[in-house]
Amino acid sequence: MSGETIALIMSGLLLLGLFMGHPLAFVLGGTAVLGAFIAGKPMVLGIVINRIFGDVLDNYVLIAIPLFVLMARFLSDSGVTDKMFEALRHLLARVTGGLGLAVVFISILLAATTGIIGASITVMGMMALKPMLNYGYDKRLATGLIAASGCLGILIPPSIMLILMASNAPGLSVGQLFAGAMLPGVLLGLIYALYVAAIAWLKPEWAPPMRLDEQISRGAMWRMLLIEAVPPLILILGILGSLLAGIATATEASAIGAALALLIVIARGRFEWATFYSALLETGRTSAMILFIVVGATAFTGVFNITGGLRASQDLMRGLAGDPYTLVAMMMIVVFVLGMFLDWTGIVLLCFPIFLPLAAEMGIDTLWFVVLMAVVLQTSFLSPPFGYALFYMRAMSPPSVTTADIISGVLPFIVLIVLMCILVIIFPALVTWLPSTLYGG
């Protein structure tokens, strides 16, 4: 059977399984088994099993994933961002759109301390959605802003997506990828803030200021903000500082982050054995889900490669793209479309084996390409019909906010993400400057 035929069959089986509603991990693994038998090469499954044990279960970088998940849960339990948000929203009370700006700035801070978009969106939704609606914010702006800002956690380090990307990108370390994604992630958050400021200026009724009778003294606001900012700043310094300075590996930095987050919970008097046990259970579930997808995707790509589907797909893309920019544009469009149906884990593990060798052939910098793909993957949480951020917002929103409001609210932010991608393409130094400064080369 030709590689083109097996590529079509396995792609069709994958789409069929997804549209039937089966979990991604089992769809990937099941498609791998069926593809091997349909291609008449069931013996490749033994090779795939050896690859899973060699490339996945022996990959110590992946240990950082459950530790960062645990850190995010501890930080959520500590309530460290609650008073910070209160102080910041009072500080920006006299500014039209000030509450929206507070959401963006706190989301950037959360992104730099959690790396889990579910935690960021849930925390910000619980803190900010009701006040924004009560102060008269447009429903679309409020829900779209919280959803998009919460997704910064997969781009701004420490991010479990970047860890998984580094573990599957030959020649890239987690530290290099963290450094490369830092400026684009923060800049994207600032673009969100500029968008909120522009909307507040053009349509002040969409983002009104707080009522003056609800404001507190400026001195009290600054004291509250400074006191509450110390724990997350220590956490950021402990994780990113130790990693980027070369003091700790990604796995060691994740352990430092989890330990510091637990100390913050204890120091704030929020430690309870019940929540501690719940945090461990949630970490186990989340980590198991991610690693099951990794195993399923490894099996899928292994069979896809050995049976010739990978080569056929690469030949097709070589024929369609005559220059590096066309190739990159084509790949990013594929990632964007896949983001409407798959989560980032499946997209990374399915696309990397096809895209990275082609990018290397064209002389494209691997670090720049991977960060660009990470920026595009922001849309996978926001784009309907299967954007996870949409479901998070729907679960937290009152009945007065419709699903149509949430979808229309995130569309402008998808456009802003595309704008950020264009900036990364035009100014590659946004990605390469910090890693070259820290690591050389």
Are the C-beta atoms of 2 and 312 separated by less than 8 Å? yes
Per-residue pLDDT tens digits for 386-410: 788 888 888 888 888 888 999 999 9
Cβ 214 vs Cβ 93: under 8 Å: yes
pLDDT surpasses 60 at 214: no
How much of the chain, in percent, has pLDDT values that exceed 90? 23
Rounded Cα–Cα distance for residues 347 and 75 (Å): 28
| Cα gap 145→147, rounded to integer Å | 6
User: For residue 379, with 0-12 CB atoms within 10 Å meaning exposed, 13-18 middle and 19 or more buried, which class applies?
Assistant: buried
Burial class (CB in 10 A: 0-12, 13-18, 19+), 410: buried
C-alpha to C-alpha distance for 247 and 345, rounded to whole angstroms: 28
pLDDT, averaged across the chain: 85
Residue 212 has pLDDT above 60, yes or no: no
Band of the pLDDT at 221, cuts 50, 70, 90?
low
> Which letter, b or e, does each residue of 105-137 get, where b requires 16 or more Cβ atoms within 10 Å of its Cβ?
bbbbbbbbbbbbbbbbbbbbbebbbebbbebeb
pTM equals 0.87
Tally of CA atoms within 13 A in the half-sphere of 274 that contains its CB? 0
Yes or no: say if 196 and 207 are a contact pair by the CB < 8 Å rule. Answer: yes
Instruction: Inform me whether the pLDDT recorded for 211 exceeds 80.
Output: no
Cα(366)–Cα(368) distance, rounded to whole angstroms?
A: 6
What is the C-alpha to C-alpha distance for residues 115 and 316, in angstroms, rounded to an integer?
Answer: 35
Non-local CB neighbours of 89 within 8 Å, separated by 6+ positions: 98, 99, 102, 131, 210
Residue (of 291, 347, 374, 235) closest to 64 by Cα position: 291
Q: CA dist 314 to 80, 91, 165, 327, 353, Å? A: 48, 53, 20, 11, 10
315-321 mean pLDDT:
78
Give, in degrees to the nearest 5, the angle at Cα 55 between 49 and 61. 145
AA letter at 221: M
The tokens for 416 are: 């802003």
- What one-character DSSP code corresponds to residue 239? I
User: Over 90: is that where the pLDDT of 413 sits?
Assistant: yes
pLDDT band at 294 (very low <50, low <70, confident <90, very high): confident
DSSP-derived letter for residue 138 is -
Residues 348 and 164: beta-carbon distance below 8 Å: yes
User: Of 125, 130, 123, whose CA–CA distance to 80 is shortest?
Assistant: 123
Q: What is the pLDDT of residues 252-268, one digit of tens each?
A: 888 888 898 898 888 88
pLDDT of residue 124: 81
Tracing tokens 């909307």 back to the chain, one arrives at: 199
Q: What percent of the chain has pLDDT over 70?
A: 94
What's the rounded Cα separation, in Å, for the pair 336 and 6?
24
pLDDT for 213 beyond 60: no
Radius of gyration of the chain from its Cα atoms, rounded to whole angstroms: 22
SS3 of 370-437: the string is: HHHHHHHHHHHHCCCCCCHHHHHHHHHCCCCCCHHHHHHHHHHHHHHHHHHHHHHHHCCHHHHHHHHH
Distance CA 415, CA 195 (A): 11
CA within 13 Å, CB half, 191? 19
Assigned token pair, 378: 């922001």
Rounded to whole angstroms, how far apart are CA atoms 86 and 217? 13
Q: 95 phi and psi, to 5 degrees?
A: -95, 130
**pLDDT (tens digit per residue) in 151-184:** 898 898 888 889 889 988 888 888 899 999 999 9
